[in-house]
Copies of this chain bind each other. A is one copy, B any other.
Amino acid sequence: MKNIDFSDVNITGGYWQKRQEINRETTVHAVYERFRDTHRFAALTCTWKEGDPDMPHIFWDSDVAKWIEGAAYILKDGENQELTEIIEEAIDNIIQNSDENGYFNSHFLVTRKNERFTHRSQHELYCAGHLIEAAVAYYNITGRDRFLKAMCRYADYIEKVFKEEKSAAFTTPGHPELELALMRLYKATGEKRYAELAKYFIDEHGRHEKEKEPDGFANEYYNQDDVPLRNRRTAEGHCVRALYLLCGMADVAEEYGDEALKAACERCFDNITQKRMYITGGVGSTCLGEAFTVDYDLPNRTAYAETCAAISLAMFAGRMLKFGASAKYGDIVEKAMYNGIMSGVSMDGRSFFYENPLEVDPGFNDRNTSTVQKEHFSITQRVEVFECSCCPPNILRFLASIGGFLYGVDEDTLYVHQYMDSEAETEGVKLKVKTVYPADGKIVLSCKTSKQYLALRIPAWCENFHINREYERKDGYAYIKLTGADEIQMELDMPVRLVRANRRVHENAGRVAVMRGPVVYCAEGVDNGPDVRSIALDRSSRFELADSEFLLPVLRTVGYRPRETEQLYVKDSETYEKIPLTLIPYYAFANRGTTEMSVWILKK
C-alpha cells in the first residue's frame, strides 16, 4: 500500500484544521524565536570560537533541521516570505560552512575538530539524518534543490567513511534516525545507494561487540545494541531511538522485501502496543535512559512518555501500513495523535511538554527531603523551550504533515485510515470527507475514483457502527464496492466508555480510564478539588457532554470522594461525598496552572 502524501491532502475543518492553524500562526514562530534566542540558528554560521559563550550543542542542528522541515510543510499552504527567508538563510549557512567533503555539523566544525565521527553517543549521524529530512522536505514542497544536493554530498561522505573506508570509530548510529532519512533521500532522488546505506546500517546494528559495552551511564539496550535487528523480539532502550530505528527497519524491509526484518518490526509493534504502551500512546516507563522497561511496567506519575516517542510511534505505525491494511496500525496512530502527542503542546501552541505523565500530584513532587538530590518527577507546566528541545519542532512538523496519515491506495482499493474533514487528490483518486469527528461519529465520504473498493478503518474501540452501503470486513476495515462516483455515509457509535488495563499492570488495578472514541479523558484538581486520586466513579456512571475551551467536549458525571478525616488510618466505611466530576481530554491537561491530574480513575 502506498500512502497518499500529505501534500495531496488538505485538512478543511474540525479539530485538526484548528490545530494546524495554531501550528501555522503561532507554533512555527514561537519555536523559531526560542531557537533564535538560544543561538541555535546562529550556530549554523560556524563562527563560534573557544572562549565564546553559547557553544553550539551537539544536537542543535537537529532542532533547527526539524524546524526547517516543519516550516517547509507549512509553505505547502501558501507562500510565506518570512519563513522562506529564515529557511534560505539557514541553508546559506549550512552550505557555506559545509566542508569540502560535504560534512556539516555546527558543533564539530567549531570545536573538537579532530574528533569527527569518533563519539557514537554524540548525535552526529542523528543531526545528519534530520538535516537530510529537512532538505528532502524543502525540495518536495518548493522544488528548490540546493539544500538537497548539499545533503546528498553529505550522505555520500557518510557512505564513504562508514561503509567504504570504515574509517569512523564506530559502525552504526548511536541515536538512530539517519536510516529513515536515507530512505527518504532515496525516494526523493531515486539514488538506490542511499537505500543501500540505510540497509547497511540496519544490517550492522547490534552486531558489534564494542558497541554493546557500557558507555557512560548507557548499557547495551540504550542504543538497541543488544541483538542484531532481525533477531529483535522486544522493544528495548531509549524509546525515540528504538522507534526511529524501527521506522528505518520498516522502510528497508518494504524496499527490499526483507521478510525477516518485517517480522522483527511486527514483533516489536505487538510488544510495544500490547505490553509496553500507555493508554495515551505514550511510551517510555522510566526517565532512566528515557526507556522501555519490562512488560506491563507502566507507572503513571513517573511515566516518561516523551512527546517525540509518541510521535515516532505514530510514524512507525503509519509505516507498518505499507505491508498491508490492518486496523491495528491506524488505531495506534489515532491513539497517539489524539492523546500522547497533542498533550505535548499547550492549547495556545506556544509551550511544550517533553514528558507526558498520566498522573500529576504536585503536593508530593516537590519533596522536602533531606538530600540535595530529588526524585524525578516531570515538570507540571509546559515551557517554551528546553535545553534538549527536540519535542517542540517535532510537534511542528508532525502537525503540519498530519494529512499524510489519512489515506492509502493500492492497486484496487482506496483506504481511509483516519477520519478528518479533508480533501485529497492524487492519481485516479478524488476524495472529500465531511465530519466533525471525533466531536461526533458522523462521517460523509464523497469519492471519484477508478479504484474498485473503498476501505474504511473501523476503530477497535468502536462496538457499533453503521454504513449506508454493503460492506465486507477484513482485518478491521470495511470494504465497500465502488461505482466510480460515490457518496458514503458512515456513523461510528461513540458512547463514553470505561476501559481497564490488563491485570498485570499493577499500577492501574481497581481503576478505569474514561474514553470517548479515541480520546482519553482525565480529571484535574482545578475542576474537581483535592485528592483526585481518591475520587471514585460509580461503575454505572452516566456522562454528559459539554462544550469546552479545549476544541472537543468535556464530560460531566458524579464522583465520590471519601469524606475528610483527621486520622491517618481509620476503620473502613463507605462514607463518600457526592461531587460533580468533570473530565477533560487528556491532551488538554495542565493548561490552567499546576494542579492534580489523573487519567486512571478509581472505581467504586
Contacts and interface: CB of A to CB of B under 8 A. Distances in A.
Contacts of A375: 286, 288
Contact of A512 (B286, B296, B565, B572): B572
Contacts of A275: 568
**Chain B CB within 10 A, most for which of A275, A372, A498, A569:** A569
Contacts of A468: none
Chain A facing B: main interface SS: loop
B602 A509 contact: yes
A373 B376 CA distance: 14
B571 A363 contact: no
Contact of A502 (B223, B511, B569): B569
B569 A367 contact: no
A570 B274 CA distance: 11
B574 A539 contact: yes
A40 interface: no
A291 B372 CA distance: 12
Interface in A349-373: 361, 363-364, 367-373
A399 interface: no
A441 to B, nearest CB: 17
Interface stretch (A134-142, A417-425, A529-537): A529-537
Contact of A368 (B221, B463, B531, B562): B221
Given A373-B288, A375-B286, A503-B531, A367 B297 contact: yes
A58 B171 CA distance: 48
Contact of A364 (B217, B218, B506, B530): B506
B501 A603 contact: no
A565 B363 CA distance: 35
A294 B366 CA distance: 9
Contacts of A279: 569
B570 A294 contact: no
A367 B296 CA distance: 11
Given A288-B375, A602-B509, A369 B221 contact: yes
Contacts of A294: 363-364, 367-368
Given A294-B367, A364-B294, A533-B506, A497 B289 contact: no
A500 interface: yes
A578 interface: no
A205 interface: no
A579 to B, nearest CB: 12
B286 A217 contact: no
A564 interface: yes
A510 B513 contact: no
A172 interface: no
B372 A217 contact: yes
Given A291-B369, A293-B368, A512-B572, A502 B219 contact: no
Contact of A568 (B221, B236, B274, B497): B274
Contacts of A499: 569-572
Interface string A495-533: 001111111111001111100000000000000001101
A341 interface: no
Given A498-B571, A603-B572, A288 B371 contact: yes
A602 B500 CA distance: 15
A574 to B, nearest CB: 7
A561 B367 contact: no
A236 B503 contact: no
Contact of A505 (B221, B372, B568): B568
A261 interface: no
A45 B569 CA distance: 50
A544 interface: no
A382 interface: no
B534 A371 contact: no
A501 to B, nearest CB: 6
Contact of A370 (B289, B531, B603): B289
Contacts of A221: 368-370
A555 to B, nearest CB: 15
A557 interface: no
Nearest to A234: B368
A340 interface: no
A279 B567 CA distance: 12
A372 B289 CA distance: 9
Interface string A567-594: 1111110100000000000000000000
B367 A286 contact: yes
A277 interface: yes
A472 interface: no
A565 B503 contact: yes
B509 A370 contact: no
A166 interface: no
B572 A367 contact: no
Interface string A272-308: 0111010100000010111111101100000000000
Contact of A534 (B374, B509, B533, B602): B509
A521 to B, nearest CB: 14
Contacts of A363: 294, 296-297
22 contacts: A214-B372, A217-B372, A218-B370, A218-B372, A222-B371, A236-B370, A288-B369, A288-B370, A289-B369, A289-B370, A289-B371, A290-B370, A291-B369, A499-B571, A500-B571, A500-B572, A501-B569, A502-B565, A502-B568, A502-B570, A503-B564, A539-B574
Q: Which 4 A-B pairs have the closest CB atoms?
A: A289-B370, A222-B370, A506-B533, A237-B370
